[in-house]
Amino acid sequence: DSGVTQTPKHLITATGQRVTLRCSPRSGDLSVYWYQQSLDQGLQFLIQYYNGEERAKGNILERFSAQQFPDLHSELNLSSLELGDSALYFCASSVSDSYNSPLHFGNGTRLTVT
Amino acid sequence: AQRVTQPEKLLSVFKGAPVELKCNYSYSGSPELFWYVQYSRQRLQLLLRHISRESIKGFTADLNKGETSFHLKKPFAQEEDSAMYYCALSLNNAGNMLTFGGGTRLMVKP
């Protein structure tokens, strides 16, 4: 499968902990996006990278950070976790950062904070 | 700030009936509008986009700038259309950041 790959699929951790979510974009895609989906907030844009550089930032908390590596995979780091951080975290990729370049989504990582 | 509103969380129709999933947006400029769909146990995927003016799986969507709407329509619903539908907006000065609506779950009953 050459689509967007996210690991792990599920993650259960305790409050105060730190986790790292990983995303491998589609082959050839240079842009990576992170979205958070929670029951009360819907799909919220967190951050976008293009070819290793941060391109746009959304409603991302200071406790969260991300980066895109030279091989174009990306990691989303969530620290000092709170119960409210429990959500489905999606990664998406696109060929370019043009506004009409379709996004291709991964299956998501379900994070449960207990 | 831009905003996308999908007023219906759930829309239930019978097979063969017309379907209209509503989407309204707030933005003073000229955004690009998209519809994404998530079928059961599948990834969120692009259904159609305004710029292409295409019909995908029988669905069409017309951008009405006067009403700031981008409703998704299909004349005859099929059971396989049952899914979660998200309207999304992209700004041409904001990279490719998408603002999503809350989604509408479409259930097509036999």
Average confidence score pLDDT of chain A: 93
Residue B52, C-beta contacts closer than 8 angstroms, at least 6 positions apart: none
- The alpha-carbon gap from A38 to the nearest alpha carbon of chain B, in Å, equals 10
Which one-letter DSSP state was computed for residue B81? G
Condensed to tens digits (0 to 9), the pLDDT of residues A43-88 reads: 999 999 999 999 989 889 999 999 999 999 999 999 999 999 999 9
Q: Which of A50, A54, A45 is nearest to A89 (CA)?
A: A45
Examine the pLDDT at A1 and tell me if it is beyond 60: no
Structure tokens given for B72 = 């998704």
Rounded to a whole number of angstroms, the distance from the CA of B65 to the nearest CA of chain A is 18
Cβ-based contacts of B34 with chain A (< 8 Å): 102
- The answer to whether the CB atoms of B46 and A58 lie below 8 A apart is no
Using 50, 70 and 90 to split pLDDT, how confident is the model at A4?
very high
Residue B4 has, within 13 A of its CA and on its CB side, a CA count of 28
Structure confidence at residue A100 (pLDDT)? 72
Q: How confident is the model at residue A2 (pLDDT cuts 50, 70, 90)?
A: low
Mean pLDDT calculated for residue range A12-37 = 96
At position B15, the amino acid (one-letter code) is K
Q: Give the 3-state secondary structure of residue A101.
A: coil
- When CB atoms are compared, the residue of A43, A94, A107 closest to B43 is A107
Closest chain A residue to the Cα of B88, Cα to Cα: A43
Structure confidence at residue A35 (pLDDT): 95
Query: A99 contacts in B (CB within 8 Å)?
Result: 32, 90-96
Q: Which of A55, A92, A106 sits opposite B95 (nearest CB)?
A: A55
Q: How far is A88 from chain B (nearest CA, A)?
A: 12
pLDDT string in tens for chain B (110-residue length): 788 999 999 999 999 999 999 999 998 777 889 999 999 989 999 999 887 778 889 999 988 988 999 999 999 999 999 999 999 998 766 667 889 999 999 999 99
